[in-house]
Amino acid sequence: MQRLILALPGNEPFADRLAAACGGARGRIQTRRFPDGESYVRLLDEVAGRTVDLVCTLAHPDGQLAMLLFAADCARELGAAQVNLVAPYLAYMRQDARFHPGEAVSSRTFARVLSAHFDALVTVDPHLHRHPALDAVYTIPATALHAAPLPADWIAGNVARPLIVGPDEESGQWAGAVAARIGAPCVVLRKTRHGDREVDIAPADLGRYRGHTPVLVDDIASSGHTLLAAGRLLREQGLERPECVVVHALADADAHAALCRVFTRFTSTDSVPHPSNRIGLAPLVARALAGAGHGPATE
Ligand code: R5P
């Protein structure tokens, strides 16, 4: 039997693309909320003996987690041979330290919960900064795929004379990988965060890059303020109107509108469904599922 690919609500289009890319069967899962808000899950296909991939990008983890865990446990109780989580965006990776006394290190707790319910995890560009790798917090086989070649190739095909710009030190790994692949110059700016929506980007002299098109590259756009501040700094330097490419677009409608005012295009991968999606990740994820540790394609 083919592996069974099940989509949690909102993940159906990605699951369709993933099934097409890996030759898996698209299974059916029924979900709803009871009047009091509790979650209901029912698996509508036979899972016994099969590899089951639950697709759930975790852009809204607090509202998604219960349903996801119920589906995973249900598949296991009904005899699935292996239950994998495919989360193109993995939440709670940025709270990777106790920055202030008394804070919860949510990345560790979240990892413990998912590790207890799944056999393996596949994700794309998790925010690894103070945790050196997923296995520092996940106790199941956890694959962190690197999307950088895909945004890099999109930039090479769509932007003339790009200058790759990372808005802060944490973005350096993504900006550097993109720039290296396409042989573009790369600059990484310095950010100070004062609050969820208050960031400063240190002035930088970028005058020698006039004639290039700056492309801000980051892993995540959330409130969008990091990229907006960096975009404004680039404009102040007299550079061309910038482009922006991120892996995970969490930006809500207001943040997206603000980003579209500053950038020629705000572009993202489809790790999170978003109007800015232009770069598809399903083939990358499909190749990972075919690899070791994620169950055979057919049983
Ligand atoms: C953190 O360092 C990440 O790389 C992003 O820069 C950050 O998550 C973006 O957040 P926001 O869009 O809210 O500024």
- Ligand 1, atom nearest to 167 Cα: 6
Give the pLDDT of residue 294: 72
Each residue's pLDDT tens digit, 69-112? 999 999 999 999 999 999 999 999 999 999 999 999 999 999 99
User: How many angstroms separate the alpha carbon of residue 228 from the centre of ligand 1?
Assistant: 11
Residues classed as catalytic: 191
Q: Which of these ranges, 152-156, 177-181, 233-237, has the smallest mean pLDDT?
A: 233-237
Each residue's pLDDT tens digit, 48-62? 999 999 999 999 999
User: How many angstroms separate the alpha carbon of residue 293 from the centre of ligand 1?
Assistant: 31
- Give the pLDDT band (50/70/90) at residue 1: confident
Q: Is 84 left (phi over 0), alpha (psi -120 to 50) or beta?
A: beta
Give the pLDDT of residue 229: 97
Mutational pocket test of ligand 1: of 89, 94, 197, 226, the residue with most ligand atoms within 8 Å of the beta carbon: 226
The Cα 221–Cα 225 span in angstroms is 8
User: How many angstroms separate the alpha carbon of residue 264 from the centre of ligand 1?
Assistant: 20
| pTM summary value | 0.95
What single letter denotes the amino acid at residue 194? Answer: H
What single letter denotes the amino acid at residue 155? Answer: I
DSSP 212: B
Residue 44: count other Cβ atoms within 10 Å of its Cβ: 10
- Reply yes or no on whether the pLDDT at 13 is more than 70: yes
**Sign of the alpha-carbon torsion through 114, 120, 124, 130:** positive
Pairing of strands 266-269, 277-279: parallel
The Cα 193–Cα 175 span in angstroms is 19
Lining ligand 1 with CB less than 6 A are: 94, 168, 170-171, 199, 218-226
DSSP 291: S
Share of the chain above pLDDT 90, in %: 95
